[in-house]
Amino acid sequence: MIARLDPSDTIAAIATPVGPALRGIVRLSGPAAWTIPLARFQFARGELPTAKRAARFEGSLSIPGLRVPAPAAIALWPDPRTYTGQQMAEVHTTGSQPILDRILADCLDRGARLAEPGEFTLRAFLAGRIDLTRAEAVLAVIEAADPTQLQTALQQLAGGLATQIEQMRDRWLDCLAHIEAGLDFVEEADVDPIARRELAREVARASADLAELAERLESRERPQTLPRVVLVGPPNAGKSRLFNALVGRDRAIVSPAAGTTRDYLSAVCDCAGLLVELCDTAGIEAPGDAIAGSAQRMRAGQAQAAELLLDCGSADTGFADEIDRRQQRIRVGTKSDCADPGQQAEIATSAATGEGIAALRVAIRAALSAEASESCCVAATGARCRESLSQAARALQSASETLMLGGGDELVAIDLRLALDELGKVVGTVVTDDILDRIFRRFCIGK
């Protein structure tokens, strides 16, 4: 067990990344969070901290082993309205690693304990300041690799998923309390069959919502791979040259002969900050021989697996007709330096002059981000909670059926309790040590 569940001691850590930087921060949380750093601090002015208000003070810090005190600031937060729910302090000084190491060592000498990875956030959770989905969001914000991931993490941090789950739990807790108190559906002759059916429907709807949520998590988990963007269009439309321009290297063979590309090619491509797997395919045509037949099958396969199609056409080739309209696509006009690719084109590009290439990258990112922003939570939360959400959905489904069929209230109560337990795991009302361990082990120290 890495995460420590007893928050009664004072923890300290360097809260800024390792390496030279302008500023460095040592963070403390716990009963002695103020006294430990204050003992070494000289205030620049006569002001003194009060236990009531958060404040920041300029001054200098004596550091054992250094003859001259280092200029520093100290920020103090009184409990309980802090991130961890405890007294917190931060020493802000130059980002020099040896200085930060000495300040930290001195804090540890005088009663603080080195924080485990994620322990500040763990304390926030234990103090009831954040729920588990938010703890994971903190981590995801730190780890976000692109703007879409950051957006999802920030939404979750703001409580998106947690609020939804909490509302559901509230509703079913109420319902369970009623049933358990024997208030609603006692075995009297005048049990209201309409109320019972309405409740059954409500439970069924909640079950469907949860099942959908679980499914969305599942589909999010699969693409650890990059989103696939596939170039399609008639032969000679300039797909391969556009591919090279987007990838930034001459990977694909370009030639004036129609039908040049046979095998598909793929490469990682940076679209205004979003990495995608870009794929070049054979031009769309009626196959004349076996090789062309294989090329067409491959192209169709690639196009089908695409999250986004770049449907290419130039003034001389026009656009292909046989493109699946249900798929998301951008109509890209090519060879705009030769002739205007026409009204149909959403973006005019020229691989020869570079016109429109940057705009195309932005359009690709926008098209894919619109899809990705539907994700309701960060990947770690998804992986942890999917099973709980499915179980909760199944339990509610079963409760709804029992209600419909006039089964006993004690059976309904059993299912509701099961669903509540599973929902509780998602937000962390029901926690087990291994869940905490798995979540907080992934943090870096100082967070």
Ligand X SMILES: Nc1nc2c(ncn2[C@@H]2O[C@H](COP(=O)(O)OP(=O)(O)OP(=O)(O)O)[C@@H](O)[C@H]2O)c(=O)[nH]1
Interface positions with ligand X (CB under 6 A): 235-241, 254-256, 258-261, 282-283, 334-335, 337-338, 350-352
| Identity of the residue, 238 or 446, whose beta carbon is nearer to ligand X in the bound complex | 238
Q: Which does 375 bind (CB under 5 to 8 A by kind): Mg ion, ligand X, none?
A: none
Q: Min. distance of Cβ 266 from ligand X in angstroms?
A: 14
User: Which residues lie below 8 Å from residue 57, measured CB to CB, with a gap of 6+?
Assistant: 41, 43, 44, 47, 49, 73, 74, 75, 76
**Based on CB atoms, which residue is closest to Mg ion, 205 or 249?**
249
Nearest to 317 by CA among 288, 280, 342, 282: 342
For the bound state, the minimum distance from the C-beta of residue 257 to ligand X, rounded and expressed in Å, comes to: 7
The option from ligand X, Mg ion, none interacting with 384 (CB < 5 to 8 A, set by class) reads none
Pairing state between β 41-43 and 55-61: antiparallel
> Under the phi-then-psi rule, with left for phi > 0, alpha for psi from -120 to 50, and beta for the rest, what region is 327?
beta
**Count of residues interacting with Mg ion (CB under 5 A):** 3
> Is residue 261 involved in binding Mg ion (CB under 5 A)?
yes
| Contacts within 8 Å (CB) and 24+ apart, 355-361 | 357/245, 357/246, 358/272, 360/246, 360/310, 360/330, 360/332, 361/246, 361/270, 361/271, 361/272
Residues contacting 163, CB < 8 A, separation 6+:
none
Residue 218 CB, nearest distance to ligand X (Å)? 36
Nearer to ligand X by Cβ, of 111 and 235: the residue is: 235
Cα 444 → chain centroid: 17
Residues 210-249 that bind Mg ion (CB under 5 A): 240
When the beta carbons of 223 and 293 are compared against Mg ion, the nearer one is 293
- Contact range with Mg ion by CB under 5 A, out of 64-72, 199-207, 257-265, 434-442: 257-265
Q: Provide, rounded to whole angstroms, the least separation between the CB of residue 239 and Mg ion.
A: 5
Rounded Cα distance between 129 and 87, Å, is 14
Closest to ligand X by CB, 295 or 380 = 295
Rounded CA gap, 314 and 356, in Å? 14
Q: Which is closer to ligand X, CB of 186 or CB of 338?
A: 338
Angle between helices 160-180 and 132-143 (to 10 degrees): 170
Please report, as residue ranges, which positions from 141 to 180 form the binding site for Mg ion (by CB under 5 A): none
87 binds, among ligand X, Mg ion, none (CB under 5 to 8 A by kind): none
Strand duo 88-94 + 23-29: pairing: antiparallel
Parallel, antiparallel or unpaired: strands 274-280 and 329-333? unpaired
Nearest distance from residue 254's CB to ligand X, in Å?
4
Nearest-CA neighbor of 308 among 232, 239, 229?
Answer: 229
CA 200 – CA 406 distance, rounded (Å)? 10
Question: Residue 335 binds what, of ligand X, Mg ion, none (CB under 5 to 8 Å, by partner type)?
Answer: ligand X
**Binding partner of residue 258 among ligand X, Mg ion, none, CB under 5 to 8 Å per kind?**
ligand X
- d(Cα 168, Cα 73) in Å, to the nearest integer? 45
Q: Is 281 among the residues that bind Mg ion (CB under 5 A)?
A: no
Give dist(CA 122, CA 446) in Å, integer.
11
- From the list ligand X, Mg ion, none, pick the one residue 238 interacts with, judged by a Cβ distance below 5 to 8 Å according to partner type: ligand X
CB of 257 to Mg ion, least distance (A): 10
- Pick the piece of the chain touching Mg ion (CB under 5 A) from 10-18, 224-232, 256-264, 353-361: 256-264
* Distance of closest approach, residue 365 Cβ to ligand X, in angstroms: 22
Partner whose footprint covers residue 338, from ligand X, Mg ion, none (CB < 5 to 8 Å by kind):
ligand X
Minimal distance in Å, beta carbon 225 to ligand X? 24
Q: Which does 103 bind (CB under 5 to 8 A by kind): Mg ion, ligand X, none?
A: none
Q: Phi, psi at residue 76, to the nearest 5°?
A: -125, 135
Please state the closest distance from residue 242 (CB atom) to ligand X, in A. 6
Q: What share of the chain is helix, strand, coil (3-state, %, to 5)?
A: 45, 15, 40
The rounded distance, in Å, linking the Cα atoms of 196 and 201 is: 9
- Residue closer to ligand X by CB (options 159, 259) is 259
Q: Is 84 in the site for Mg ion (CB under 5 A)?
A: no
Using CB under 5 A, list all residues that contact Mg ion: 240, 260-261
